[in-house]
Amino acid sequence: MSKRLPEKLTAPEVELLSPMLKREGDRWTADFRGLTLRTALQPIYSISHKRIVGYEALIRAFDNDNSAVLPLHLFQLPDSTAENLLLDRLCRYLHIRNYSGISDQLNWLFLNVSPQVVTSGSQADSFFGQLLAKTGLPPHRIVMEIVEQPTDDAQRLRETVAYYKKLGCLTAIDDFGAGHSNFERIWNLSPDIVKLDRKLLTRATEDHKARQILNGIVSLLHQSGCLVLLEGVETHDQAMIAIDAGVDFVQGFYFRKPSTDLDQLAHAPADFDQLLQEYKTRNQVTLDPTRQLVEFFSGFFDHAITKLRNGQSMQESCLELLNHPAVSRCYLVDDKGVQIDDTLISDTGTRSLDPRFKPLESTSSADWFRQQYLRQALAQPENLHVTAPYLCVTGAYMCITLSLGYCQNGKLQVLCCDILANPATPPL
C-alpha cells in the first residue's frame, strides 16, 4: 500500500477492501504492501464425532518471487492503527470469500480477530455484519477467536464479543492457559469455545502432575458451559493425552497441517477409531489395579469388621490391615461422616509423615462427608469402594482410600483405609 490511510476507516469498509481482492480460478487472493495473501485452513476434529467439525483460517503471505513471508513479518508491516485494522479486516474478508467457495457447507470457520482491533475499533464491528451480508455466509458457521491477553478496555471487549454473538456467531477465547489467561475472562465473556494453549499440552506430555491439572482445567471449563479445544497436538502420545483429558475438539500437525490447497481438506480424515480403541485398552488396564485392590483387600475388611462387631477395639480389629506394607492408616466414621476417635497410623504411614504438615495430622472428629468415598459407602453399605489416587489432606501425599459401610448396634458406620498411591513396596 502506497498511500497513507486515515486514522479511522469510513464506511462502507467492505467496498474499500474489495478492490484489494483478486480471483484466481476458484480461489481468491489479496494484495497488501506488495505481498500476495492466501488462505490456509487447518482442520479441527471432534473426538466423539470422529470427524472434522471446523477449520481455522490462517493467512499465508508470498512475495513477488512466490517465496513465503512469515506471518510475524506480515503483521509487523502496518505502521498505523488504521492500517492494522485494515489488514485484520482484509484477512477476514479473504478467508470468508475462500471458505464460501468450498464444498463444505456444514462446518465452522474459525477466524482470528486482533485484540488491538477489538479494543480500538468501533464497538460494534459493523464491517463484519456487512461482510457476512455481502458473501452470504451464515453467521452460525463462524467462530470468532479472541486471543487471551490484557486489554485496556474490558468493557469494549465485552461489547464487541456481545456484538458477534448478536450477529449469530460463536465466540472463542484463544490461547487459554498461557500468559494472562484467567477464569475471570471466561466468566465475563461467556465464550462458546475455549482453545487451550499448546504449552499446557507440552507440560502435560512431560509431567504427570501437569496432566492432572490439564484434566482439571478441562473439567472446570465444561462446568463453566464452554466446549474445549486443545490445539498443538503433534504426536501420538499428545493425541492420547487429549483424549484422556476429556477435550471436545483437537487440532494440530498430528492430524493435519494447515494447507492452502483447500480442495483437499475434505479428504483429511483422522483414524479416531484406532485412537479411541487404544484409549479403551489403556483405560481398561488402568482400571484393573482398582478391581485387584478390591479383590485383594476384601478379606482384610471382612476380618476387621467381624472383630469390630464382636466388640474388639479398632487397634485389634485393624491389625492385619495396618501390617500391610502399602497401608498408611485406618479410621472409623459415623453415619454423619464424622470420624470416631483418632486415626490409627501404620508403621508405613509413620515413616511417611512429613513434619511440615503436622497441623493436619490429628483427625479426631474430622468431618469427611464431602468425600465421595464416604458418601458411596453410606449409600451402598456392605460393598467395598475404592477411589482413584488423590491428594490426602492429612499429610499432602497421594493416596487411595478403601471404604466399607456396615451396621454396628443398629447404626451405620464406615471403616476407611488409606493406601499410599506410590508405596516403596507394591501393594499386592
Average pLDDT over residues 276-280: 91
The distance from CA 349 to its chain's CA centroid, rounded to whole angstroms, is: 35
Burial class (CB in 10 A: 0-12, 13-18, 19+), 423: middle
Q: 264 is written with which cell numbers?
A: 483437499
- From CA 260, how far away is CA 275, in angstroms rounded? 27
- Count of Cβ atoms closer than 10 Å to residue 263 Cβ: 12
pLDDT reading at 8 higher than 80: no
At residue 2, φ and ψ (nearest 5 deg) are -100, -40
pLDDT on residue 426? 43
- Count of Cβ atoms closer than 10 Å to residue 202 Cβ: 14
Higher pLDDT, 182 or 222: 222
Q: Which of 145, 168, 162, 19 shows the shortest CA–CA distance to 92? A: 145
pLDDT reading at 425 higher than 70: no
Residue type, 121: G
- From CA 315, how far away is CA 367, in angstroms rounded? 21
What pTM value is reported for the model? 0.79
pLDDT reading at 289 higher than 80: no
- Count of Cβ atoms closer than 10 Å to residue 205 Cβ: 15
Average pLDDT over residues 76-93: 88
pLDDT on residue 395? 72
| Residue 179 Ramachandran class (φ > 0 left, ψ -120 to 50 alpha, else beta) | left
- From CA 220, how far away is CA 228, in angstroms rounded? 10
- From CA 97, how far away is CA 21, in angstroms rounded? 9
Among the ranges 269-278, 291-300, 314-323, 418-427, which has the highest mean pLDDT value? 314-323
- From CA 262, how far away is CA 102, in angstroms rounded? 7
Average pLDDT over residues 76-103: 89
Predicted confidence band of residue 423 (pLDDT cuts 50, 70, 90): low
pLDDT on residue 152? 52
Q: Which of 345, 342, 359 shows the shortest CA–CA distance to 393? A: 359
- From CA 221, how far away is CA 214, in angstroms rounded? 11
- From CA 411, how far away is CA 271, in angstroms rounded? 54
- From CA 361, how far away is CA 381, in angstroms rounded? 28
Predicted confidence band of residue 263 (pLDDT cuts 50, 70, 90): confident
- Count of Cβ atoms closer than 10 Å to residue 55 Cβ: 28
**What does the DSSP assignment read for 300-316?**
HHHHHHHHHHTT--HHH
Number of alpha helices (DSSP H) and beta strands (DSSP E) in the chain: 15, 17
Q: What pLDDT, in 10s, does the model give residues 306-341? A: 999 999 999 999 999 999 999 999 999 999 999 998
Rounded to 5 degrees, what angle do the CA atoms 400, 414, 316 make?
Answer: 90
Question: What is the share, in percent, of the chain residues with pLDDT greater than 70?
Answer: 89
pLDDT on residue 230? 97
- Distances in Å between the alpha carbon of 337 and those of 365, 367, 376? 9, 5, 11
pLDDT on residue 149? 61
Say if residues 15 and 131 touch (Cβ distance below 8 Å): no
pLDDT on residue 37? 96
pLDDT reading at 117 higher than 70: no
Predicted confidence band of residue 42 (pLDDT cuts 50, 70, 90): very high
The distance from CA 292 to its chain's CA centroid, rounded to whole angstroms, is: 31
pLDDT reading at 82 higher than 50: yes
Average pLDDT over residues 120-133: 71
Predicted confidence band of residue 391 (pLDDT cuts 50, 70, 90): confident
